[in-house]
Structure 1
Amino acid sequence: MAEEKRLGLIEHLDELRSRLIVALVAILVTTALAYIFSDTLIFILRLPAGDIKLRAFSPMDGFLIRFRVAVYGGVFLAAPVWIFEVLRFLSPGLLPRERKFIFPGVVAMLGLFALGNVFGYLMLQNMFSVLFTMFGSELEYFPSADQYISFVTYFLIATGLAFELPIILLLAIKIGFVSIDQVKRQRRVAYFALFVFAELITPVADPIIAPTVVMIPMLVLFELALFIARFIAPKPTTATLPAETNATS
């Protein structure tokens, strides 16, 4: 019996290793591809800030910044592969009715993250126009390429993850971690939490309008997730029906 368990564990680890290799190879290939077009990617990231010239303050910045942008792009481009490999590794532990949600779930995750990136990118121009006016006449902005690229990429990652809210909420309801009624009862708390999150990822002087603009699409996705959850939420068991019947008789 112990020998069978050991062999099962070895097979499990071998499968994990093979899937990790496939995922890493995919990321390496897409990272190399993104590095070839890293100048174009940096231009796209710089565009929302207007006519500014990014400055490097270290001899290694030219390579390191291009490499960092390439890694971000490579991980994003390879996302369908490594997410698929992760889910294929986990799928033996899922029920058949749960496996049918894998493909639409992956598509929804990638689509929402990309939508969040697009939304965040469109927000950047207005955000920078406000931030640049805060320097006044006594300060002059000399943008560091390293700091600027880090700021933009982290902001885009944050907005992309924010748009994953419906997937997280649907998963929590599906596994029974929370119920639809519980979420509805705490709707005001959820709205406030979304506003606080939007406040944190919009570093502008205006504490109301900009975070509200960021929060609106998240609210729409939140309500959409609640609507969809009605169709996938676990059905109440009938085990409690006899007790309820006796209580009322």
Structure 2
Amino acid sequence: MDGEAAQLGFWEHVGVLRSGVLFGATVFIVAAILVFSYGGDLLTAKLLSAAPSELVFLSPLGPFLFKMKIAFLGGAFVSLPVWLAFFSRFVGTALPREKRLVFYGLVAASFALGAAAIAAAYLYLIPISLDVLSGFTVPGTSLMLTAESYLSFVLLQMLVSFVVLELPVVIIGLAYLRLLDPAALTSRLRVVFLALLIGLAVLTPTTDVFTLLIVAVPSFVLCIAALAVAKRVYNRDIS
């Protein structure tokens, strides 16, 4: 594979990239059409199951645009493994064999952690956040959620959770590429933990310290474990 990658010129690489992008885009479009036509109601029911009250639309186009967003979301989830497989193979061919295996392992770990982050947000973070936020009231007002605002809230929770759990892979990957010195980051561990705690407090807006600790402690453990692995990777690369 290394010899094959070395024989390809610039425009050949562009052609391979274009073919992969077209294939990924085709999978995304087909999956989105199928979700819109057949699986939209099931996916919508799953996403709306944690809603604290009945959702409303404020315009005649609201239901159609909502179903379009659900279809795009389903297409993105279905096509994500295809995109990851293509880009990891495309980038991996330019790396030496031993580095390529580590790179593929990081991609697989990133995908697994991303799936775990989405599941944790759906099963735990979103219901807790909605329960806490619905307890904040303003006299003389009532809470009325639109379907669009609820979907945006759910996607934001999943995105932030995804970023938090991807942090270990990012730390190890940057150390492996020698773009980050884990020892320097370890020396500022208090700052790292404070920033992570603030991010988790925003992610899970709860007044219950115990609930925050349930989320924060595993995140701290992941960060420490990632720094330990990153140190080994960084020092081994030096030697």
TM-score, with normalisation over the residues of structure 2?
0.86
Equivalent in the alignment of 2:149: 147
Number of residue pairs matched by the alignment: 230
User: Structure 1 residues 224, 77: closer, same or farther in 2, change over 3 A?
Assistant: farther
Check conservation: 2:106, 2:173, Cα contact below 8 A: no
Q: Secondary structure of 2:17's match?
A: helix
Provide the residue aligned with 2:119 in structure 1.
118
Give the alignment partner of residue 133 of structure 1, picking from 132, 135, 149.
Answer: 135
Structure 1 gap ranges (5+): 1-6, 239-249
The residue number in structure 2 matching 1:30 is 31
**CA deviation vs aligned residue, 1:78-135 (integer Å, no higher than 9, x gap):** 2111011112222232121111124322221111011111221212222212211212
What is the rounded CA distance, in whole Å, between the counterparts of 1:200 and 1:237 in structure 2?
38
Partner Cα separation in structure 1 for residue 34 and residue 105 of structure 2 = 27
Query: Quick check: 1:30–1:77 contact (8 Å CA) kept in 2?
Result: yes
Q: Which residue of structure 2 lines up, in the alignment, with residue 156 of structure 1?
A: 158
Instruction: Note the alpha carbon deviations across 1:1-21, whole angstroms, 9 max, x for none.
Output: xxxxxx922212111110111
Aligned to 1:201: 203
Q: Which amino acid aligns with 1:116?
A: A
Rate the CA distance shift 1:166–1:208 in 2: closer, same or farther, 3 A: same
Larger mean CA deviation between 52-61 and 221-230 belongs to 221-230
2:134 aligns to what SS in structure 1? Answer: helix
Q: For residues 237 and 159 of structure 2, what CA distance do their matches in structure 1 show? A: 37
* Residues 172 and 236 of structure 1, relative CA distance in 2, 3 Å threshold: closer
Question: Residue in 2 aligned with 1:187?
Answer: 189
CA distance in 2, matches of 1:20, 1:155: 28
Alignment partner of 1:77 is 2:78: yes
**Conserved in 2, the CA contact under 8 Å of 1:195 and 1:215?**
yes
Tell me, which stretches of 5 or more residues in structure 2 are unaligned? 1-7
Deviation at 1:147, TM superposition (A): 0.8
Residue 60 of structure 1: aligned partner = 61
The corresponding residue for 2:21 is 20
Amino acid at match of 1:235: R
Instruction: Give percent identity, aligned residues only.
Output: 24
1:243 aligns to what? none
CA deviation map 1:166-218 (0-9, x unaligned):
1100011111222332222111111011112223333x363855554433222
Name the counterpart of 1:99.
Answer: 100
Please give the TM-score of this superposition, normalised by the length of structure 1.
Answer: 0.83
CA distance in 1, matches of 2:168, 2:238: 25
Write the deviation string for residues 136-177 of structure 1: whole angstroms up to 9, x where unpaired. Answer: 552212211111111111111111121101110001111122
The offset of 1:31, in angstroms, is: 2.0
Residue type of the alignment partner of 1:46: L
Which piece of structure 1 moves more, 127-136 or 138-147?
A: 127-136
Work out the CA distance in 1 between the residues paired with 2:238 and 2:39. 55
How far did residue 235 of structure 1 move?
A: 2.5
- Asked if 1 retains the 8 angstrom alpha-carbon contact of 2:183 and 2:231, the reply is no
SS in 2 for 1:48: coil
Partner in structure 2 of residue 41 of structure 1: 43
